[in-house]
């Protein structure tokens, strides 16, 4: 390695602290608004079902609305392929700007869309189209943001820095649930049904344009500007096959995406239908438990920098194998707001343990010149197959089995798959980033 290359490695492996913190803050704020726009749909799904997917059967209307929610995830792999490659060629910043623009536009489109009663079949078509745009954006955002954060991190703090990827994601969930909870508390049921549901989409779209402006002012990552040569990468770490790394990434993402949508987003609907909570109680319970996850995610990332990624993810996996069935059983017993909130908080602690560590763990599996593409593709596969349709699958399981506890078995199955995957992964916390 030449003297020049040695200097580059020394200069860019540990970026300036203030510049790195600023980049992480701006990226995380943008990520919060990105995922707020993407997930707020799930918090007003019952209202959307009445306005855009009317049916004589309430379950059928919910299934149609959750299906539209899941349709957005079909576009995620395409977004990951197209925009992930752009991120690896043109830069992380370029793709993060593009993703924010797509998400903001799609959110506004949902917020202004006429209902089925006004324009008929065109109404659900507009919603599905908007969800597809959001899916493209989410596919671009996931890999681009993960690469951006970990490449700004000092070598010994990659877990902590990368955890802000999920602070943004769950922060978006929290922001969405809190906004809808405040609106539901402030407005009458009729006002919320008539026009209040539009406010979260319109506000999110406008705020996303603000985040778009903020992201314009961040710098490209030092590691992307001066990546290690392929010879250096081979010397740093024995290469695992790309296909195996993709499989491992899919396995890691599976559990945390299922818990995000089955144990958090869907919980808003689940605790109302089967737990006996009012809409306002369900929203506040979700908001409070999600806030706990947001606070604990960077703690989990920081601990993994010392203890390792595998042990943190392993403990979360064991928890999700053992606890969902009895906890869901408690919820359907309608024990009241306090107990259900406690249950959701337990699930949030377990979720934070894998969500806080996962971004670093999967980003460390791939080299700089392919990181955004392969992190995006593998995560999109996991989210599309396992996560995006979690509310839909949960509803189907209840309908087919007649048991409201059935969604818990889906969470356990996801945990078992992730657990098997973890057995194949070597510890990456203390290796150099490729």
Per-residue model confidence as pLDDT tens digits over 388-399: 677 778 888 888
Copy the structure tokens of residue 285: 């319970």
Assign 328 a pLDDT band (cuts: 50, 70, 90). very high
pLDDT tens by residue, 144-178: 888 888 888 888 889 999 999 888 888 887 888 78
Mean pLDDT of the region 274-295: 88
The whole-angstrom separation of Cα 337 and Cα 279 is 11
State the Cα torsion 242-247-248-249 to the nearest 10°: 90
Mark 338-371 as b/e (b = at least 16 C-beta within 10 Å).
Answer: eebbebbbbbbebbbbbbbbbbbbbbbbbbbbbb
* 3-class secondary structure per residue, 394-425: HHHHHHHHCCCCHHHHHHHHHHHHHHHHHCCC
pLDDT attached to residue 171: 83
| CB 157 within 8 Å of CB 20 | no
At 59, the pLDDT band (50, 70, 90 cuts) reads low
pLDDT digit string, tens, across residues 244-267: 999 999 999 999 888 887 767 788
C-alpha span between 271 and 283 (Å, rounded): 9
Which has more pLDDT, 68 or 205?
205
Q: What is the mean pLDDT of residues 77-85?
A: 85
- Res. 235: pLDDT tops 70: no
Angle at which helices 337-355 and 266-273 cross, to 10°: 160
Residue range 327-346: average pLDDT?
95
Which of these, 253, 182, 224, 204, lies nearest to 368 by C-alpha position?
224
Compute the C-alpha angle 244/245/251, nearest 5°.
90
Instruction: For residues 414-424, give the mean pLDDT.
Output: 95
Each residue of 352-373: pLDDT tens digit?
Answer: 999 999 999 999 999 888 888 8
Q: Tell me the domain boundaries of the chain.
A: 17-223+235-422
pLDDT confidence band for 52 (50 / 70 / 90): confident
pTM of the model: 0.79
Q: Sort residue 276 into left (φ over 0), alpha (ψ -120 to 50) or beta.
A: left
- Pair 32, 92: CB distance under 8 Å: no
The pLDDT score that the predictor gives to residue 420 is: 95
pLDDT (0 to 100) of residue 9: 40
Sign of the CA dihedral 237, 243, 244, 250? Answer: positive
Alpha-carbon gap, residue 406 to 400, rounded angstroms? 9
Could you give the C-alpha distances from 69 to 207, 243, 251, 308, 385, in angstroms and in order?
Answer: 22, 29, 22, 35, 13
Distance spanning both ends of the chain, measured CA to CA: 15
Give CATH for domain 17-223+235-422.
Answer: 1.20.1250.20
Q: What is the number of other CB atoms lying within 10 angstroms of the CB of residue 280?
A: 16
Contact predicate 181/45, CB 8 Å: no
Task: Quote the pLDDT of residue 332.
Answer: 95
CA pseudo-torsion sign 201, 67, 260, 146: negative
Q: Which residue has the tokens 């929610």?
A: 69
Dump pLDDT digits (tens) for 127-141: 888 888 888 888 888
> Residue 73 in contact with residue 135, Cβ under 8 Å?
yes
3-state DSSP call for residue 389?
coil
SS3 assignment, position 377 = helix
Provide the mean pLDDT of the chain.
83
């Amino acid at each position: 390695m030449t003297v020049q290359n040695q200097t580059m490695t020394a200069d860019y492996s540990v970026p300036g602290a203030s510049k790195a913190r600023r980049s992480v803050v701006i990226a995380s704020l943008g990520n919060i608004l990105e995922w707020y726009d993407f997930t707020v749909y799930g918090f007003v799904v019952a209202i959307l079902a009445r306005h855009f997917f009317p049916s004589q059967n309430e379950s059928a209307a919910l299934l149609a609305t959750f299906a539209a929610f899941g349709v957005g995830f079909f576009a995620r792999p395409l977004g990951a392929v197209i925009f992930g490659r752009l991120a690896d060629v043109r830069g992380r910043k370029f793709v993060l700007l593009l993703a924010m623009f797509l998400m903001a536009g799609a959110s506004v489109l949902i917020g202004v869309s006429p209902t089925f009663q006004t324009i008929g079949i065109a109404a659900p078509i507009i919603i599905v189209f908007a969800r597809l745009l959001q899916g493209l954006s989410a596919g671009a955002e996931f890999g681009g943001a993960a690469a951006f954060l970990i490449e700004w991190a000092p070598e010994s703090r990659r877990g902590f820095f990368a955890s802000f990827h999920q602070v943004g994601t769950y922060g978006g969930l929290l922001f969405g649930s809190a906004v809808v909870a405040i609106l539901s508390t402030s407005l009458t049921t009729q006002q919320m049904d008539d026009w209040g549901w539009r406010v979260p989409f319109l506000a999110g779209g406008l705020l996303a344009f603000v985040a778009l402006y903020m992201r314009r002012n961040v710098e490209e990552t030092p590691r992307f500007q001066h990546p290690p040569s392929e010879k250096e990468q081979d010397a740093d770490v024995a290469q695992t096959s790309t296909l195996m790394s993709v499989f491992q990434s899919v396995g890691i993402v599976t559990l945390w995406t299922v818990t995000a949508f089955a144990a958090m987003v869907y919980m808003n609907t689940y605790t109302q239908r089967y737990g006996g909570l009012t809409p306002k109680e369900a929203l506040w319970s979700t908001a409070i438990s999600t806030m706990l996850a947001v606070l604990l995610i960077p703690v989990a990332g920081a601990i993994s920098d010392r203890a390792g990624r595998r042990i943190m993810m392993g403990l979360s996996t064991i928890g999700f194998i053992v606890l969902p069935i009895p906890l869901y059983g408690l919820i359907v017993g309608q024990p009241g707001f306090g107990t259900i909130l406690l249950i959701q908080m337990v699930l949030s602690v377990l979720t934070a343990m894998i969500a806080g560590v996962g971004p670093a763990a999967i980003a460390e599996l791939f080299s700089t010149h392919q990181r955004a593409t392969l992190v995006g593709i593998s995560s999109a596969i996991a989210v599309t197959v396992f996560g995006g349709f979690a509310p839909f699958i949960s509803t189907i399981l209840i309908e087919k089995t007649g048991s409201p506890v059935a969604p818990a078995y889906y969470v356990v199955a996801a945990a078992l798959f992730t657990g098997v995957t973890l057995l194949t992964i070597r510890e990456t916390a203390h290796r150099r980033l490729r």
